[in-house]
Amino acid sequence: MKTHFLIFLITILSLISSVSLADSPIDIKQDNVIRFIDEMVKDHKFDRQYLREILSKAKRKESIIKLISAPAERTLNWSDYRKIFITDERIMTGVNFWKNNKEMLERVESETGVPIEIIVGIIGVETYFGRITGNDRVIDALTTLAFEYPPRSVFFKKELKHFLILTREEGLDPLVPMGSYAGAMGRPQFMPSSFRAYAVDSSGNGKRDIWGDWADVSGSIANYFLAHKWRTNEDVTVKAYLGREWKGKAPKPSNILKISNTLESLRNKGVQFATKLTDKSKGELLTFKGNNGIEHWIGFHNFFVITKYNHSVMYALAVHQLGQLISSKFNDEFNKNEI
């Protein structure tokens, strides 16, 4: 009995300790926190007492550190990745989203030149059309990673700085906004620096609301692509094949994020594909492990603009394909209703 009670007591104490550790307040007397406050007061004219009060209400969350530092259990290939993000349910959710926001989406596309299918593709992959936006307060995520996670402290201190500035600019309570464990915010999952650089008031109500205003969400995503030099009416990617003229080893899947070839040079190497873009246009041969084995695609300029949003060729292909499938299904239903 005593042994059982001792084990029970140790278990209870460990649980209390872990809960306490998970939600312990940020220590504003730490040297790195003091230096951060000094910098914000000096460089950005914040009130010292205000910062001390806000940061003292932020919480160090062990769950965030575990998530950011946990190694991936396995590396996903394209077949796995596609099954996660391109499903019948997600496509139909996207179609309904398009139907419910048709006029607004058409306006954003007209103003920016960024097609609706790219906007809905981003929203669908990032947050499942607003269903999954994160369960952590942004202030908790950013302070935990800025002050309690040395491997990425420089990056997250910068994002914490932007977050505090944007809450001042937008008139937001820093303790309220919610986001991911890494501090990505709202329906488009903008980091604070991206919010300040690219978020727009597309609804015209004087606020940039990426948490609750779909016009601002869509306009901000389009503005991000516009700022990264999206080219209206140009191809994103096309299927490719290795012809008989191909020399050398077959390419393997890799996360290529920079264009180093012209379409002419790819064709000269034996790569076969169809596009209206000129031979002098840039493109890159991309290789993925799909459901039926290895598949090849040509990524054009606009494909690599998508990778600016998330530095992954699988992400970019998922956004493109999800958007295309939603667009096709939407147009089929729209045309049926017109008959």
Active site residues: 126
Contact predicate 282/292, CB 8 Å: no
Contact predicate 145/68, CB 8 Å: yes
Taking the mean position of all CA atoms in its chain, how far away is CA 14? 36
Query: Phi and psi for 101 in degrees, rounded to 5?
Result: -130, 25
Neighbours of 43 (CB within 10 A): 9
**3-state SS string over 152-219?**
HHHHHHHHHHHHHHHHHHHCCCCCCCEECCCCCECCCCECHHHHHHHCCCCCCCCCCCCCCCHHHHHH
CA-based Rg of the chain, rounded to a whole angstrom? 24
- Rounded to the nearest 10 degrees, what angle do helices 88-100 and 102-112 cross at? 80
Half-sphere exposure of 269 (CA within 13 A, CB side): 19
Residues linked to residue 170 through DSSP beta bridges, in sequence order: none
Quickly tell me which residue has 């727009």 as its tokens. 200
| Rounded distance between C-alpha atoms, residue 3 and residue 11, angstroms | 12
Helix (H, G, I), strand (E, B) or coil at 76: coil
| Rounded distance between C-alpha atoms, residue 45 and residue 66, angstroms | 34
| Rounded distance between C-alpha atoms, residue 148 and residue 318, angstroms | 34
Neighbours of 83 (CB within 10 A): 11
